[in-house]
Structure 1
Amino acid sequence: MKYRLKETFDQIKAEEELKNRTKVFVSEKIQNDTSSKAGTAGRSIRRLAPVFVCMAILLIGSYWLYFTPAWQISIDINPSIEISMNRLNKVISVKSYNEDGAELADLLDVKYKNYAEAICQILENDDIAALLSNDEILMIGVIGNDETQSSKILADIESLAEGKKNTYCYCVHSDEVSEAHKMGLSYGKYKAFLDLRALDPDITADDMRDMTMREIQDLIDELSGSQDNAAEKTGDTDSNTHHHTGKKHRNSYKGGE
């Protein structure tokens, strides 16, 4: 009996030792496998690091390219806005330069769309159509550094605006626009301001910010007429004045007439 009890006890003890050794073995195996996988993962990450860097640079570069303005389109009737486009000809922003411009900008759904679609939306806008039917003047200017591409965009816009009454298109270099923006004017309004100020040095940007292009042109015509009459009375027939022709025209790349 004592022998059997001892034998049984020894078996139990052996089983416990086996269990403990098994636990130790399994634990060590798991740790080794984990370390091995971690090391493999670390080596993989190190090998892929240059790829991740290249991808990050590519993404940042693509973002920068997409959201960097390459051209602007200045649209003035009384709403005054400027549309900025990237090198893919996609609209990336619409900026308003007066209250009417802000209202028009809110109505437009042109962001990330081609500039041609943006121009179509503007030309087909009910308010713009109503203004044109009331003999208002619409000025559309292409602003950019690349003369060839600017001329192509201008030709596209002229084609879209073909047949629209009192609609005028022109090109201007980007260098000429900074002063307009400093004064808080779109370039189209600024260009009209320069014409008006040449006739009336006392005129200010604030005086004409909310004037329609028709009102500005009528004032230019009025002041030009006054100067013509004054010149005739003094016998001066070589008057340097600008007369609105009422016909659609294409200005030079420098934007001046």
Structure 2
Amino acid sequence: MTNEKMEQRLAAAVEKTAPNDANGVLSRCEERKGTVIPMTTKKTTKRRWTSLIAACLAVMLLGGGLFYQRANAVASVVSLDVNPSIELKVNRSEKVLVCTPLNEDAKAILADMGNGADLKGAKLDVAVNAIVGSLVRNGYLDSISSAIMISVEDKDTARAEKLQRELTSTVDGVLQTSESRASVLTQTLTQDAGLTQQARENSISTGKAALVNRVLTINPSLKFDVLAKLSVEELKDLAEAGAPAMPIGKDAAAYAAEQYAGTTALDSVTAEVDPELDESPAHYEVELQTAWGEFEYLVDAYTGKVLSGQKDLLAAVSASNETTKPSGQKPAPSGTVQDIGYTKAKSIALNHAGVSESKAYDMDIELDDEDGTLVYEVEFKSGNMEYDYEIDAASGTILKHEAELDD
């Protein structure tokens, strides 16, 4: 068999095994086309919707993250300083993010506010109102020379000045309501890393650190860390006086007065100290509250020398004598030559007023120190009149008396 014939037979066999059925194959494909293509189309649509939803979620998450970040970003730092130093960080919406007591006195002020935690989320003016109210209740803003400083630190000068005005109005409102005579100092600050470091090292606010630096500009020989322990009231007066020297401070002034009075061993004696560094001579007014009355001392602000007041108080006013003690009054002195006693002081006042003891009520008698002289302050009412006497404790001389209609 020739090669040609062999090729012809092989071709015939292949044709029988795989017939030429192209038209049939195509027709069968057309029948399947109607079912396959729609399935493919549905799959593509689902994939597109999934992609779209994922993109929307991504945008929402991104937007939510930006909102959260913005709501919790610190926009301004506000500090309130008297001697307690309190710092409030707030966002752009003027809501408190964190309230921090910077010293031990501040912790006492924030004790009933969860140490500051309860103020988180509060509007800034509400938080400041609560803090200043606590300062008033704790006696930090009682005297006319008391001062509170408001400092606002912000990159945005316009926003800082706006907050400064708003907070000044808030604090003024609280002080007027409580009849406090304290002054309000305000300042705006730009963010300064060096100032922040000084503040942190001395447990004070950046606002108080700026005030200390202002005093140091006047007298560079003074020490930052010692000045930082003074109250805002002292720093203000010191700057106004030209910062001639370092004041001894309130605690040292109180101790000097107690030593002079001889009452350091008595736990019952308390002291109220009012700095007068802008007067001449610069001094601290120290009022010792004792079982026998209130006694005032003036202590030199720079040397610690007692300028006036009753020396050796225990010797001048000894143990109480219950036999001469009026009902409801403080214990009376023993009735030495230097002291006429409560009963005699009351009798002198009543006789002068022409009022019998049975017609007098709301009687109040206190032994006080007036510029080194012991006096009895006698107050009482009778009918529609109110009487007020000051009587020399040694001689019984009436030093001052007033009578007016009782309101």
TM-score (norm 2): 0.41
Bigger radius of gyration among the two: 2
1:203 is aligned to 223
Shift of 1:119: 1.3
Which structure shows the higher strand fraction? 2
1:193–1:66 distance in 2 versus 1, CA, 3 Å = same
Instruction: In structure 1, give the amino acid aligned to 2:101.
Output: S
Cα distance per residue 1:12-48 (max 9 Å; x no partner): xxxxxxxxxxxxxxxxxxxxxxxxxxx9987754331
In the alignment, structure 1 residue 174 sits paired with structure 2 residue 184: no
Once the two structures are superposed, the pairs formed by residues 118-129 of structure 1 within 5 Å of their partners are: 118-126=127-135
In the alignment, structure 1 residue 56 sits paired with structure 2 residue 61: yes
In the alignment, structure 1 residue 192 sits paired with structure 2 residue 203: no
8 Å contact kept, 1:75–1:141: yes
SS in 2 for 1:151: helix
Once the two structures are superposed, the pairs formed by residues 75-90 of structure 1 within 5 Å of their partners are: 75-90=80-95
Instruction: In structure 1, give the amino acid aligned to 2:140.
Output: L
8 Å contact kept, 1:90–1:113: yes
**Mapped partners of 1:217, 1:170: distance in 2:** 12
Instruction: In structure 1, give the amino acid aligned to 2:183.
Output: T
Higher relative contact order (CA 8 A, sep 6+): 1
Out of 165, 169, 172, the position equivalent to 2:181 is 165
1:218–1:154 distance in 2 versus 1, CA, 3 Å = closer
Shift of 1:225: 5.3
**Mapped partners of 2:133, 2:75: distance in 1:** 25
Once the two structures are superposed, the pairs formed by residues 210-225 of structure 1 within 5 Å of their partners are: 210-220=229-239, 224=243
| Identical-pair percentage | 20
8 Å contact kept, 2:110–2:131: no
SS in 1 for 2:77: strand
- Name segments (4+ residues, structure 1) moved above 6 Å: 39-43
TM-score (norm 1): 0.63
1:155 is aligned to 165
1:208–1:48 distance in 2 versus 1, CA, 3 Å = same
**Mapped partners of 1:182, 1:103: distance in 2:** 24
8 Å contact kept, 2:238–2:278: no
Gap runs ≥5 in structure 2: 1-43, 246-276, 280-407
Instruction: In structure 1, give the amino acid aligned to 2:119.
Output: V
Cα distance per residue 1:169-225 (max 9 Å; x no partner): 4232323x43221111312211221123232424123x2344322233344456635
Which structure shows the higher helix fraction? 1
1:232 is aligned to none
RMSD: 3.2
8 Å contact kept, 1:98–1:209: no
1:140 is aligned to 150
